[in-house]
Amino acid sequence: MTCLHKLAGTTTGITLALLLGGCVSLSGDGGFSTAARVSEQRTGVPASVAGRLPRNEDDARALTAVIDQKLAQPLGANDAVHIALLNNRGLQATYWSLGIAEADLVQAGRLQNPVFDFKRSHGGGELEIERTLTFNLLSLITAPMAGRIEGRRYEQSKLLVSSEAVRVAADTRRAWVEAVATAQSAEYALQVEASAQASAELAQRMRQAGNWSAMDVAREEAYHAQTLAEVSAARKSAVTAREKLTRLMGLSGAQGAYKLPGHLPDLPAAPQELADIEQVAINERLDIQAARLDVSHTASTLGLTKTTRFINVLDLGLVANSEGATNTRGYEISLEIPLFDWGSTRVVRAEATYMQSASLLAQTVVNARSEARESYADYRASYDLARHYRDKVLPARKKLADETLLRYNGMLMSVFELLADAREQSSAVRSYIAAQQDFWTAQANLEAALGGRLPTQPTQGVQP
């Protein structure tokens, strides 16, 4: 009887401790508000309309109103990112995984339900009734540690969800740059094609007048045919890039008819000067923070495995039997005897899992350092190239075009030289558009590698 009282007292103490200190309640938004704040800090745009995920028709209508308002004007990069964070269905599915992780956390903090067994039998004129109420003592003992493990897993889930939001934002920003650049290139290709068509018609008239040879006419017609092919290729690229952006923003139907700016933003006045970019990436990247939590979570799991390697099943049962007019009461304990399995395999598995997560963390850090160096070098080189086209190549081509036109008007140069100069000038403009695209893509890649937005800078430049 004394042992029973002591065991009951121990169980009561554990139960009270769990009820008072380990009880966790549902937040109501599945931790979405926390993840949304993190992604907003990293991307610079909010990830929700009313601080929560769309749950009903009213939320859906509010979301549609926000999106339609942004689509009513030419879509900027930040607006595209905002729409993607609000409306990307894959990202929304990732947001809901927070609710799953929170439910697991709350469940880990709750006691397992007791099991009640009832048995009634009779024979030989006697009635026998057996009643058993069983509690899982092992779950009571390990519940605090299990709660801490699930808490770390929940925090890790919030970091992973925030990291996914940052990734979608970076992908959307890159897709916006590509969509605007390809549309700008397609528009310029149309201008070049119109000029080539005019040159081909001029060649035909010159041939009829007897001033040009058949070879000269063939050269202009071939160039015109080439520009037609370039228009088709440019339009194809523009459609592909636009649809990629549309998918990332989760748009369909009439919303897909949004307008984009006519050209990419001008270059900033100067590139960002960043010091110790490797350390910035290590401190700021969410995937590294999530990997650190995974290592901590795995270490805690290893401790739990070592704690329970010998005691795998431990149940406490209160027994009440009735046999005829005689009632008996007592308790029973079910304990798995480690006769064949001493739990060594579970410990080895946990240790291997820990070493695996530690190695993955180390590799994540190595990748982050390399990506930071590579993206920053690409960012600076892309800026220098685009600035070279802006400040050197385009002004030189414009000056040469002006001089060529001046000499042509003075009949000091032939029409062949005028047309050749126009073709070289169009090639320089296309190269500048491509250099601009490379720079803004490189900046988006750098932001993704460092885990956050770069400070806004004033821009300056020229548009072809």
What CATH number is attached to the domain comprising 37?
1.20.1600.10
User: What is the arithmetic mean of pLDDT over 95-115?
Assistant: 77
Q: What is the pLDDT of residue 5?
A: 37
Q: What pLDDT, in 10s, does the model give residues 8-31?
A: 444 444 444 444 444 556 666 666
457 in any annotated domain? no
455 in any annotated domain? no
Q: Which of 167, 174, 80, 75 shows the shortest CA–CA distance to 440?
A: 174
Token pair recorded at residue 422: 């126009």
Question: Could you tell me where the DSSP H helices lie in 250-343?
Answer: 277-284, 286-307
Q: How many domains does the chain contain in total?
A: 1
459 in any annotated domain? no
pLDDT exceeds 70 at position 154: yes
464 in any annotated domain? no
Beta carbons within 8 Å of 360's beta carbon, 6+ residues apart: 291, 294
Q: Which of 11-15, 181-185, 378-382 comes out lowest in average pLDDT?
A: 11-15
Report residue 375 CA to chain centroid gap: 18
Under DSSP, is residue 90 helix (H, G, I), strand (E, B) or coil? Answer: helix
Token pair recorded at residue 370: 């390399």
Check: pTM over 0.85? Answer yes or no: no
Report residue 321 CA to chain centroid gap: 60
Of 262 and 151, the one with more pLDDT: 262
Half-sphere exposure of 453 (CA within 13 A, CB side): 16
Q: What is the pLDDT of residue 251?
A: 92
Q: What pLDDT, in 10s, does the model give residues 343-379?
A: 667 777 778 888 888 888 889 899 999 999 999 999 9
User: What is the arithmetic mean of pLDDT over 442-448?
Assistant: 93
Q: What is the pLDDT of residue 63?
A: 85
Q: What is the pLDDT of residue 341?
A: 52
Under DSSP, is residue 159 helix (H, G, I), strand (E, B) or coil? Answer: helix
Of 275 and 50, the one with more pLDDT: 275
pLDDT exceeds 90 at position 420: no
Q: Which of 244, 87, 96, 254 shows the shortest CA–CA distance to 161?
A: 96
Domain that holds residue 287: 2-450
pLDDT exceeds 80 at position 262: yes
Q: How confident is the model at residue 315 (pLDDT cuts 50, 70, 90)?
A: low
Q: What is the pLDDT of residue 129?
A: 77
Q: Are 64 and 251 in contact (CB under 8 A)?
A: no
User: What is the arithmetic mean of pLDDT over 384-388?
Assistant: 95
Q: What pLDDT, in 10s, does the model give residues 116-128?
A: 887 777 766 677 7
Using alpha carbons, list the distances in angstroms from residue 350 to 146, 296, 340, 353, 359: 15, 13, 19, 5, 14
Under DSSP, is residue 140 helix (H, G, I), strand (E, B) or coil? Answer: helix
463 in any annotated domain? no
Q: What is the pLDDT of residue 23?
A: 52
352 in any annotated domain? yes
pLDDT exceeds 50 at position 34: yes
Question: Which phi and psi angles does 49 have, rounded to 5°?
Answer: -90, -50
